[in-house]
Structures are given as C-alpha cells and as structure tokens.
Amino acid sequence: MDKKIYNKQPAVCNCLNLRRASQAITEGYDEFLKLIKEQGFITDIAAKGTRNRQLTLTNKGVETFEKAGQLWSEAQNYIEKYLVKDDMSTLTILHSKIEALVP
C-alpha cells in the first residue's frame, strides 16, 4: 500500500505529540482493518458514544480468520517498513517506559 508521508513538526507538548502519533498509528491500522469490517467479517459492539471499540468476529469473520490475520500483518509490515528496525526498537522501548509510568 502506497501512502503519502507528510512533513510534520513536533509540538512543544509531549502529551500532544504522543496523542498525534497514536492517532496516526490507529488510522493506519484502520485503513487495513476497516476493509474487514466493510466485508462483514467483524462488527463493533461498543456502546454508542464511547471512545473505545469492541470488535467481535461475525460468523463470516470466524470462517475467514486467516484473512484478518493477513491484513493485520500487512498493517504491521507497513509501519515497520516505514520506521525501519532501529526506529522500531527505540519506539518499543519508549512505549514500555511510558507505560511504566502508571500501574
């Protein structure tokens, strides 16, 4: 999947930078995974108005579980290819350090 990469400048606020990055990653995965929702493989059972999503497989989704895994792998590969191995390693370490700030 070819995707335009935009030149973005970081904000002064660390929280804002993390939120923007999280939103970009989420949208990137959604581009791959929304395909499976549109095809009837998953459904969102989260209550209306909530900020989280609760996805569950439909009967059709259970039958095509391997396809969902393949699309997830494509999303993973796209992000990892863009960030390259060293950046991915640093990102993973930073995620763990940030998560350690709360129980």
Q: Domains in the chain and their CATH numbers?
A: 14-99 (1.10.10.10)
Residue 12: the pLDDT is 93
What's the pLDDT band for 62 if we cut at 50, 70, 90?
confident
Report how far residue 96's alpha carbon sits from residue 77's, in angstroms, rounded to the nearest whole number: 20
What's the pLDDT band for 35 if we cut at 50, 70, 90?
confident
Tokens 């999503």 -> residue: 53
CA-based nearest residue to 11, from 27, 23, 2: 23
Residue 16: the pLDDT is 92
Mean pLDDT of 32-37: 77
> Exposure pattern of 18-38 as b/e (b: 16+ CB <10 Å)?
eeeeeeeeeebbeebbeebbe
Mean pLDDT of 26-41: 82
Indicate if the pLDDT at residue 1 is higher than 70. Answer: no
Q: What is the DSSP letter of 5?
A: -
